Amino acid sequence: MSELRGPVRIVGTGLIGTSIGLALARLGVVVELVDANPDSALMAERIGAGSRLVQIEPQLVVVAVPPDHVGAVIAEQLEQTDAIVTDAASVKSKPLADARKLTTDLSRYVGSHPMAGSERNGPLAGRADLFDGATWAITPHETSAADAVELVRRLAEASGARTVELSVEDHDLAVARVSHLPHLMSALAAGTLADAPSSHLQLSGQGVRDVTRIAAGDPKLWTQIVSANSTALTGLLEQIRGELDRVLVALGKEEAGEELTSILGQGVSGAVRVPGKHGTPHIDLVTVLVTIPDRPGQLARLFADAAESGANVEDLRIDHSPGRPVGEVELAVKPGSVDQLVDVLTERGWVVHR
């Protein structure tokens, strides 16, 4: 029963649902696409995420609809099929509570949450490799059947993800910390720019782009997400409010240095705990700055030259302010690779800073 044979019914053909369909299609698993918007399902079908016309009873149902509707669709699928049912919502407590109000037997339901996404949405944003190397949380509740948990694990692994099992409550607190709170902080920072003078915005650099990037997410969708996780978020926001009060008090003092240093140091302590790529422990990397002309083909040439050095680029960032004839590429590499990378790039004519 725990072998993922298919068919898999995906209810909701947005970014996540379509990407799951595309990932399963790589393995030849039959996927049925269902969406209240027929145009969305048709588009997902056209790009290869599955078919709208599968007539076989599904082995597994994946609910990938907006957060406010997840619980009702879970209950509906449990009542209408004999399939195991999971969902991809970013909050687990509310869908579980909503489903409990509508159906009595939840043994075939196991919550899950692929930790991957984009500011883009809709089926055309879907990618078969969206979950490759990503973390996929599995959140059984107290009556989830063991074979249901295992089948959902097989789904995540088939999609290219690595799994972590959490309780429903732990999951919601975790995503409040690593996803929902950062989104709110980004939105608040970006909001201060909405009526800023254009002369201020002309000073924008990579820092403000980094902080505000995720604020571009769909406000209606994010309203549903943060509202559904209000309990976990409230506690964290109260903690943040306390820290903001500390900053305000410190700024009001003539000698604010020690207090501000303590607050900023706590930020550094938290930042270094963020795992590296593929969930590996945090690694202290060295950043090499390369000035790059704003001409076609220059990035490709830089990456080819970096590869020739033998250094593995662990991360990168591009800073290109509008109007400048050049940009800067930050290549993050392990300390042992720095000298070789700098030597090769310099030999090939790049302007390099360490």
Which pTM value belongs to this model? 0.77
| Residue 221, both tokens | 């969708």
The whole-number pLDDT of residue 283 equals 66
Domains of the chain, start order: 8-166 (3.40.50.720), 173-273 (1.10.3660.10), 286-353 (3.30.70.260)
Instruction: Place 96 in a pLDDT band, splitting at 50, 70 and 90.
Output: very high
H runs (alpha helix) in 127-229: 146-158, 168-175, 181-191, 198-201, 206-212, 219-228
Q: How far apart are CA 21 and CA 54, in angstroms?
A: 13
Residues contacting 178, CB < 8 A, separation 6+: none
Cis-peptide into 7, omega within 30 deg: yes
Beta strands at 162-165 and 315-319: parallel, antiparallel or unpaired: unpaired
Q: How far apart are CA 171 and CA 167, in angstroms?
A: 6
**Beta strand segments in 258-300, E:** 286-293
Residues contacting 186, CB < 8 A, separation 6+: 211, 212, 213, 214, 215
The whole-number pLDDT of residue 291 equals 86
Query: Do residues 1 and 103 lie in contact, with contact meaning Cβ atoms separated by under 8 Å?
Result: no
Measured between alpha carbons, how far is residue 295 from residues 300, 322, 329 in Å?
11, 14, 14
The whole-number pLDDT of residue 38 equals 94
The per-residue pLDDT for range 171-189, each reduced to its tens digit, is 999 999 999 999 999 999 9
Neighbours of 103 (CB within 10 A): 16
Overall average pLDDT of the 87-98 stretch: 94
What percent of the residues of the chain are helix, what percent strand, and what percent coil, each to the nearest 5? 50, 15, 35
The whole-number pLDDT of residue 351 equals 87
**DSSP run (H or E) holding 299:** helix 298-308
The whole-number pLDDT of residue 282 equals 58
Range in 21-35, 107-121, 156-170 with the lowest mean pLDDT: 107-121
Range in 158-167, 238-247, 342-351 with the lowest mean pLDDT: 342-351
Q: How far apart are CA 129 and CA 204, in angstroms?
A: 33
Q: How far apart are CA 62 and CA 64, in angstroms?
A: 6
pLDDT at 54 over 70: yes
* Residue of 344 and 2 predicted with greater confidence: 344
Range in 184-188, 263-267, 316-320 with the lowest mean pLDDT: 316-320
Q: Give the chain's radius of gyration (CA, Å).
A: 23
pLDDT at 167 over 90: yes
CA atoms lying within 13 Å on the CB side of residue 216:
11
Q: How far apart are CA 191 and CA 179, in angstroms?
A: 18
Q: How far apart are CA 206 and CA 318, in angstroms?
A: 8
Share above pLDDT 90 across residues of the chain, in percent, rounded to a whole number: 55
The whole-number pLDDT of residue 257 equals 82
| Residue 249, both tokens | 């008090």
